[in-house]
Structure 1
Amino acid sequence: MNGPQPIPFASSEQSTLGLEWELALVDSATGELAPHAPAILPSLEYLNADGDRVTKELLTNTVEVVTGVHHRVADALADLSGTIDLVRERAAILGADLMCAGTHPYSQWYQQQITPDSERYETLIDRTRWWGRQMMIWGVHAHVGIADQRKVLPIMNALLAYLPHFQVLTASSPFWAGDATGYASNRAMMFQQLPTAGLPPQFETWAEYEAMVGDLVHTGVIDDNSELRWDLRPSPKWGTLEIRVFDGISTVAEVGAVAALAQCLVDDFAARLDRGEELPRLQPWFVRENKWRAARYGMEAIIIQNADGDERLVTDDTLDVLERLAPTADKLDCAQELAGVRAIIENGASYQRQLQVASRHDGSLREVVASLVAELRDGLPGA
């Protein structure tokens, strides 16, 4: 048997940033998901002349907007906003609005259409069947540049301790197909049902990562490493660490907040490695428990902080993290965006806002969709 093929890690400037944001198309009259992406995307193809900016996704109700590479979070947000405005204009012509959340509150998965003429998506659905068809979910992905391949896995392992913080701040899927699930992030529980999704292994060396990818390719599980849909993964093609744990996020400001947190954490870990420090990490069973607690309890989650098993309310721990990262945020010029994390904690995450809207309107989930559309269009009131 041939050994694993090397997976080169592209050259990338440390702590540069790229964002991917999956947006749902909803009918302006009913709030139901609308399959208009195949009609919208051709008119925006010109945006992709120098790299993907607007792309298709698994379902025809979804458009993904992608930024270029940026040093500052503010510039990445401006990039996103400009593209979203163009998508919104095309959607309006078809009687549709844009919204983003981890799940749609009441549309049914079996009524959604798979994007046609995509061998990748056809293979995914053929393999995963019922669970694959359930993937009526949306997320945000943040790529943060890593300058040295040797730093990728230590930073990834250390960052696993912060996945519950990210999950809580972006939790936006309390409803599924018309039901209140009791989870802040039902999306987190759904997505990990795919065989190559969920939490990543904790690798000690890049050779171990290459060997795992080689094994999975050899046995036909994947065609290449890009099909590993982990919550956190190396992205060798781009020279980045990709954070994929976020639920769909409904406002530009909140995308900026968690992007700044991701950029600052990665940059801080890289600097600590440069100083010769060994980065802390959690046992895999603690990482898994933290993910479940964050998805279930959201802002009320008590998370495991360290390898000794100390525990703390996730919001209190997050506020301390913000204090520690303040100098890094100043260096990266994202202090204003990082302050948005505190605003999420003080004003409520999306799952909390959705539940409040439903409560104020006698359980109306159509009003929840209307609020999500308004948040993406106008931002949060008072923000």
Structure 2
Amino acid sequence: MLEFAKSGPFTLGVEMELQVVDRDSGALSPRAEEFLDGWTGPLRVRAELFQSMLELGTGICLTAADAERSLRATAVPLVARAREMGVRFIASGTHPTARYQDRHVFPAERYHGLIERNQWIARRLLIFGLHVHIGMPDPETCIAVQNELLHDLGLLLAMSTSSPFSQGEATGLASSRITAFEAMPTGGTPALVADWSEFSTLVAALMRSGAITSLKDLWWDIRPSPRFGTLEIRVCDGLPTIRETCAVVALSQVLARRAGARIAAGDGRSFPPAWRIRENKWRASRHGMEADLVIGDDGTTMACRAWLSTTLDELDAGGYFTGNTSYLPDLRRLADGAPTCAARQLEVFERTQDLDAVTLALADEFDADVLRGSTPTE
């Protein structure tokens, strides 16, 4: 069976995929390689598939507040370096106007291999997400927590929706980004497995058949990451500010803690039916926080904001927010009707009829959050 690295149970690692854009026009700028060549800040900034992308990450963190401190410690010199180069950053799921046909692939063997294998499908991956690694005590718990969190992926996607525009068009979706993975042969909704043995057998078959060359080729919405001893949540769109990012990170960690407690008590849930996972993903991608999500196998639904409110009450009462209580007000505002990033973009466009204004508003949000700063109290 696959080996699984040791990690601190329910610790965190966070990765934000950033868009590199021109300071004045907001257009994507293929300058990641140049940026990294001159980067002397923390070693938490990495290349990504395209030259107009960078990844901002953390080390191992105990809480979302720790992750926020880590991200901010890197973001301040990151923004300073960007100013020197005449570029800025955006952290939404898509760039409103950029065309994938105009992008430049970062000069790395893995990325060029990805394009060669998947062709047009991979060339369209001009998308930007949030990835949350959660430490798992052992591989069996990893699969059990994954199966628990499959019940919650629609909610996490709805909260993070930030890609209503793509290729210069209004898509009618709150998250157009998430649909891109559905075309990948090993992307999107994960295979449903009961335990680590079944997952290991599946991976061996995929490797033997040539369907994947490494576990990195599993572009699932949630997946085990044996190399780090983590469960990686990948369903979320990128969020425009570090504060909003870490609120979603906090909820992800808290949901995983609850899942772990249920499993330890023998009360863990199996994965939901595949139709419900896919239906909730679709509803969240289409309507964001205004969706009605399916909460029961009999088809029972609940308004997304009401589900978030109920979930927060249960998690808070259960004591699972320890170390992350400073994010409860942010999350409750969203439950009470605060607009998502997708909704804010649509409001800017309705007011200005200008997608460039939407793009620059996103860059302004990222800059303002970094420059304003925040010191989590936990």
Q: 2: CA distance between counterparts of 1:281 and 1:321?
A: 18
* 1:271-293 residue CA offsets vs partner (Å, 9 max, x unmatched): 11111213253101111111111
Partner of 2:55: 64
Partner of 1:83: 74
Letter in 2 for 1:18: G
Find 2:191's aligned residue among 198, 201, 224.
201
The 10-residue stretch of structure 1 (302-311 or 67-76) with the greater mean CA deviation from structure 2: 302-311
Partner of 2:350: 359
Unaligned runs of 5+ in 2: none
Unaligned runs of 5+ in 1: 1-5
Q: 2: CA distance between counterparts of 1:349 and 1:99?
A: 15
Partner of 2:24: 29
Find 2:215's aligned residue among 202, 217, 225.
225
Find 1:123's aligned residue among 79, 92, 113.
113
SS of corresponding position for 1:25 = strand
Query: Displacement, 1:152?
Result: 1.2
Query: Displacement, 1:309?
Result: 2.3
Partner of 2:325: 335
Partner of 1:3: none
Indicate if the aligned counterparts of 1:256 and 1:338 stay in contact, CA closer than 8 A. no
Q: 1: CA distance between counterparts of 2:28 and 2:116?
A: 23
Letter in 1 for 2:210: G
Structure 1 segment 277-356 matched on structure 2, within 5 A:
277-327=267-317, 332-345=322-335, 346-356=337-347
Indicate if the aligned counterparts of 1:235 and 1:241 stay in contact, CA closer than 8 A. yes
Query: Displacement, 1:46?
Result: 6.2
Q: 2: CA distance between counterparts of 1:344 and 1:324?
A: 16
Q: TM-score, normalised by structure 2?
A: 0.94
Pick closer, same or farther for the CA change 1:14–1:354 going to 2, 3 Å.
same
Indicate if the aligned counterparts of 2:94 and 2:162 stay in contact, CA closer than 8 A. yes
SS of corresponding position for 1:152 = helix
Partner of 1:92: 83
Aligned positions, number:
371
Q: 2: CA distance between counterparts of 1:377 and 1:232?
A: 29
Whether 2:28 is the aligned partner of 1:38: answer no
Q: 2: CA distance between counterparts of 1:212 and 1:331?
A: 35
Query: Displacement, 1:90?
Result: 1.7
Indicate if the aligned counterparts of 1:282 and 1:307 stay in contact, CA closer than 8 A. yes
* 1:286-340 residue CA offsets vs partner (Å, 9 max, x unmatched): 1111111110111221111022321111111111000111145665310112332
Find 1:146's aligned residue among 136, 141, 145.
136
SS of corresponding position for 2:151 = helix
Indicate if the aligned counterparts of 1:264 and 1:329 stay in contact, CA closer than 8 A. no
Q: 2: CA distance between counterparts of 1:379 and 1:89?
A: 14
CA RMSD of aligned residues (A): 1.7
Partner of 1:113: 104
Whether 2:45 is the aligned partner of 1:54: answer yes
Q: TM-score, normalised by structure 1?
A: 0.93
Residue identity (%): 35
Q: 2: CA distance between counterparts of 1:56 and 1:228?
A: 19
Query: Displacement, 1:71?
Result: 0.7
Q: 2: CA distance between counterparts of 1:262 and 1:46?
A: 28
Partner of 2:149: 159
Find 1:7's aligned residue among 2, 22, 38.
2
SS of corresponding position for 1:352 = helix
